[in-house]
Amino acid sequence: MSFAVSFPVMLRTKDGVRIDAVHTPSRGPGDLCVVIAHGFTGSWRERTSRRIAHVFSAFGGVVAFDFRGHGRSGGLSTVGDEEVLDVAAAVRHARTLGYARVAVAGFSMGAAVALRHAALHGGVDAVASVSGPARWYYRGTAPMRRVHWAMEQRMGRAAARVFKGTRIRSTGWDPVPLAPFEAVPLISPIPLLVVHGDRDAFFPLDHAYQLYEAAQEPRELWIEDGYGHAESDATPELIRRIGRWVSASVAG
């Protein structure tokens, strides 16, 4: 697949962290922008993320970025806490580019951050949570036990830096940030979409149900048959459906 032309840019968050980002102009309507928030150890430069940006660009412009501690961005990852400032910088950039309507689509860790950003900062017209956790400290699956090892152990953080280029802060949360299921009631009246696969190896379906049940209207829940986890398993058709939902939600 050949991807649409995009324009890299370096953003700066309110706490002074440099964020590596990219703008892909719209191949469709000119007033909508989708901000993409990737998962833990991800990057907008990965082929899966670029493919998602390309599909979304049929519905509007796209701003994708690397969270702090990831890729070419500065700072250290706080795994979902201070990353709300990274989303805020990306949304602010989309507004600066002239987009009147801005939605955030987050995947896995990025989904948790997107929910917390919409609840705490607002300023968006729709938010989609894809493969996101409802609560912190979940260790009920083998992949999540590996994630916690990478976050909490010195050797795990070293491995994440060497093999994934992800730099993780060694100190834990203090205080513990608002959990996603605690954030979703605060999002209304911003339209919310919760998407989760029935073959997600990281977070079982009860996370999606917990988010949906805690949210206020307008809200939608999609349980996708055969879908695994986040960007790596998201098909172009699923991304197109999310793009159509975003377009309809911001128009409404």
Low-confidence ranges of the chain (pLDDT < 70): 1-2, 4
What domains are defined for the chain?
A: 7-251 (3.40.50.1820)
Query: Which residue in 208, 67, 187, 77 sits closest to 131, CA to CA?
Result: 208
Quote the distance between the C-alpha of residue 32 and its chain's center. 17
pLDDT score for 2: 61
Question: Phi then psi for 181, rounded to 5 degrees?
Answer: -70, -25
pLDDT of residue 141: 97
pTM: 0.96
pLDDT of residue 252: 73
DSSP conformational letter for 31: S
Q: For 233-246, how does the pLDDT look when each residue is reduced to its tens digit (9 = 90+)? A: 999 999 999 999 99
Alpha-carbon distance 80 to 65, whole Å?
Answer: 15
Q: What is the CA radius of gyration of the chain?
A: 16
- Encoded tokens for 196: 């989760």
Question: What is the number of other CB atoms lying within 10 angstroms of the CB of residue 130?
Answer: 30
pLDDT of residue 67: 98
Q: List the Cα angle 161/104/188 in 5-degree steps.
A: 125
